[in-house]
Amino acid sequence: MAHHKPLKDYLACVAVDIGSTGTGYAYSTRDDFRADQLDVTLNEKWTEESQGSLGLKAPTCLLLDPTMQFHAFGYEAENKYAELAAEELHEDWYYFERFKMQLFKNEITPNLQIEDAIGKKVSALLVVTETIKYIKSHAMERLVRQEPKMKEKEVQWVVTVPSIWDKAAKTLMTSAANKAGIKSSNLIIANESDAASVFCLFAKSEAGTGSLDTQPVGATYLVVDIGGGTTDITVHERASRMEIKEAHEPSGLSWGGVAIDEAFVKFMTGMLGEETMDRFRVQACGEFIKWIKEFERLKQDVPSVEKKKSENFIIYIPNRLNEIYQSLNDKTISDLTRSGKFKHKGKIRVTDGKMHFEMSIIHDVFKTVTDKIADHLDALFKIKELSSVVMLIFVGGTAESKFVQQTMFHKYQHSKRYVLYPKEPGTAVLKGAVILGHAANIVDKRLLRHTYGSGIKVPFQQGTHPEKLKIESAGGTWCRGVFKPFLKAGTPVKVGMVIRNEIEAISYEDSVFAVYKTNKRGVEYITDEACQEVCKVWMSHVLPARSKKPQVYTIKYTFAESELIIELALKETGSKYVITSDIEFEENF
């Protein structure tokens, strides 16, 4: 990532990912990031019907009216164009579907023209500009809903691009973002693979030794981004604890989730005939699209290993598909599957309007893509410089498929290389890009390595709190030793930063002041072995009071160059007690 001058007044970061098939955005405010770097909000689902993580991305479809003005994006563009096509009114409109693939396949120049759905040529810059403008408007509306006083100049924008794109392609994206109203000072163009790596570093996977943050400095690993239209493969090296660099030329394949869908359509074409499928595509365009979206949803849960032999892949038969097949063949699809001459007899059957496929057939559909990706990876591993690769990180929407995950895991788990899938691989790039944007705006590059907190007591909840921490006190039942953070790991800390707190101790004679730290996420109790005691003192011993009445004391935490200085002061006497402790920081980008 190129050097970025930190914004003076930035309050939030928004990342935009224009994918081959799906587009989305994510954001977090500066305060969100300081409290928890992984507290990133993804865009809302674009339609009520959207299901699962697939629904978080809108189809990368843009519709311009006959005067080349913006009309719609995503599902709205898809539906409007289908309506126009059904009434044969679409020829004067400009509809772009999966236009990023044209950028992938063409040499990028400022005057590049790309084709719409029926071959009309339009400036690529215009298409990308209108897309970013729409997403920007959508994201700002959402941000302002959360933070009513938020202004555009206070937002850091990150637009992600494939690592294999050259400087000219990145310049095109910069120009489009500028034309969409994003100033260069507020813009970062980030490689998708960099963003994925950053997410994995911050996520600190709980998969133990297989996580990226546990790999030593100098370790090389692959980021395999399996998207809808392409698979991008980048070789990274961990240059320092919080810095990554590209270690080899990136490569890409025109194979992804769409190719799996196309392989399924090709199989159905072989089964039902070209004329049936061609007519279905053209005469029932809306129903065809809906059917393929259902296949996309169902394919995510296809396992690579059948749990039981009887397990089938089941998908409904669209009414128009059955009607078209019957009109051309004088029999239904159900009749076909029961025919003695049917070549897939016993492997495909029809029940209650649904097709039941033996899993091996769907596995073969997947393998048209997974085999290509595996062959490419195997070829990379034969390159001498890449023989030391210790890990493969799979991200991208198609990497959320159980079949893809299990296939790659089984293939590479015995190759002395770890296989890592972050939680929700399809959102890793977006979340990582948000983190990148925040990190670029941190003036002081020191990030706190540990989370600091105190032990408190809360009302005991049966079944939730451990019995060993249960105490009876002050007429109630309490859970002692609950870890309450006051400063989280990853918080940017400037030398001289001060935090103040005040405590009223009802029973000062029994009052204990203690601070704990941990480098593990999700610690609930100070008794957790990952929780270390920083300091612990009896207040009445170090700061004796004049009376036995309730006392108020203040705490001042000062972050020095390499020390945490804790100053306790008793209000009644004005006397002070100072504790010092070593403090550790992470490097930032």
Range in 147-156, 205-214, 297-306, 414-423 with the lowest mean pLDDT: 205-214
- 3-state DSSP assignment of residue 416: coil
- 3-state DSSP assignment of residue 58: strand
In whole angstroms, how far apart are CA 96 and each of 71, 102, 150, 282, 567? 12, 10, 33, 17, 63
- pLDDT higher at 520 or 444: 520
Q: Which residue has the tokens 């540990």?
A: 450
Confidence of residue 448 (pLDDT cuts 50, 70, 90): confident
The identity of residue 552, as a single letter, is V
Span 53-70, average pLDDT = 86
Q: Which residues contact 356 (CB under 8 A, 6 or more apart)?
A: 312, 313, 314, 348, 349, 350
> Cα 454 vs. chain centroid, distance in angstroms?
32
Beta strands at 94-97 and 121-123: parallel, antiparallel or unpaired: unpaired
For the stretch 135-191, pLDDT in tens is: 999 999 999 998 898 999 999 999 999 888 878 888 899 999 999 999 999 999 999
Span 539-567, average pLDDT = 91
As a whole number of angstroms, the distance between CA 128 and CA 165 comes to 15
Quick one: which H or E segment has residue 73? strand 70-73
Confidence of residue 206 (pLDDT cuts 50, 70, 90): very low
As a whole number of angstroms, the distance between CA 316 and CA 337 comes to 15
Judged against a pLDDT cut of 90, whether residue 128 lies above it is answered with: yes
For the stretch 224-236, pLDDT in tens is: 999 988 899 999 9
Confidence of residue 210 (pLDDT cuts 50, 70, 90): low
| Helix (H), strand (E), coil (C) string for 240-293 | ECCEEEEEEEEEEECCCHHHHHHHHHHHHHHHHCHHHHHHHHHHCHHHHHHHHH
As a whole number of angstroms, the distance between CA 527 and CA 466 comes to 11
Whole-number pLDDT of residue 224? 94
Whole-number pLDDT of residue 207? 40
Whole-number pLDDT of residue 310? 64
Span 411-422, average pLDDT = 81
Confidence of residue 444 (pLDDT cuts 50, 70, 90): low
The identity of residue 36, as a single letter, is D
Judged against a pLDDT cut of 50, whether residue 399 lies above it is answered with: yes
In this structure, what token pair is assigned to residue 283?
């005469």
> Average pLDDT over the chain, rounded to whole?
87
| Measured torsion, CA atoms of residues 52, 57, 61, 64, in degrees rounded to the nearest 10 | 120
The identity of residue 146, as a single letter, is Q
Strand order across the 354-358 sheet: 312-316, 354-358, 348-351
Helix axes 319-329, 285-299, angle to 10 degrees: 120
> Cα 44 vs. chain centroid, distance in angstroms?
14
In this structure, what token pair is assigned to residue 46?
């674009």
Judged against a pLDDT cut of 70, whether residue 443 lies above it is answered with: no
Residue pair 73/58 in contact (Cβ under 8 Å)? The answer is yes
As a whole number of angstroms, the distance between CA 361 and CA 312 comes to 10
Whole-number pLDDT of residue 586? 67
Category of 81 on φ-ψ map: left (φ > 0), alpha (ψ -120 to 50) or beta: alpha
In this structure, what token pair is assigned to residue 310?
């009887």
DSSP per position, 433-486: HHHHHHHTT-SS--EESSEEEEEEEEE--TTTS-GGGEEEETTEEEEEEEEEEE
In this structure, what token pair is assigned to residue 535?
């300091």
| Helix (H), strand (E), coil (C) string for 116-150 | CCCCCEEEHHHHHHHHHHHHHHHHHHHHHHHCCCC
- The proportion of the chain whose per-residue pLDDT surpasses 70, expressed as a percent, equals 93
Span 295-309, average pLDDT = 79
| Measured torsion, CA atoms of residues 559, 564, 565, 567, in degrees rounded to the nearest 10 | 100
Judged against a pLDDT cut of 60, whether residue 534 lies above it is answered with: yes
Span 301-315, average pLDDT = 77
Q: Phi and psi at residue 212, in whole multiples of 5°? A: -65, -35
- 3-state DSSP assignment of residue 374: helix
Whole-number pLDDT of residue 6? 77
- Distance between the two ends of the chain, CA-based, in angstroms? 10
Span 424-435, average pLDDT = 92
For the stretch 219-274, pLDDT in tens is: 899 999 999 888 999 999 988 766 788 888 888 888 899 999 999 999 999 999 99
CA nearest 412: which of 210, 226, 202, 227? 210
Span 559-572, average pLDDT = 90
Residue pair 446/492 in contact (Cβ under 8 Å)? The answer is yes
In this structure, what token pair is assigned to residue 517?
């730290």
As a whole number of angstroms, the distance between CA 318 and CA 70 comes to 33
- pLDDT higher at 211 or 432: 432
Whole-number pLDDT of residue 185? 92
Whole-number pLDDT of residue 45? 74
For the stretch 84-124, pLDDT in tens is: 888 888 899 999 988 887 776 667 777 889 999 888 999 99
- Neighbouring-strand partners of residue 95: 63
Whole-number pLDDT of residue 105? 66
- 3-state DSSP assignment of residue 316: strand
DSSP per position, 522-585: T--BTTSTTEEEEEEEEHHHHS--SSSS-EEEEEEEEE-SSEEEEEEEETTT--EEEEEEE--E
Judged against a pLDDT cut of 90, whether residue 567 lies above it is answered with: yes
As a whole number of angstroms, the distance between CA 491 and CA 446 comes to 8
Whole-number pLDDT of residue 70? 96
**What is the number of other CB atoms lying within 10 angstroms of the CB of residue 377?**
21
Burial of residue 188 (CB within 10 Å: 0-12, 13-18, 19+) is buried
For the stretch 346-397, pLDDT in tens is: 899 999 999 999 999 999 999 999 999 999 999 998 998 888 888 899 999 9
DSSP state of 18: E
Confidence of residue 126 (pLDDT cuts 50, 70, 90): very high
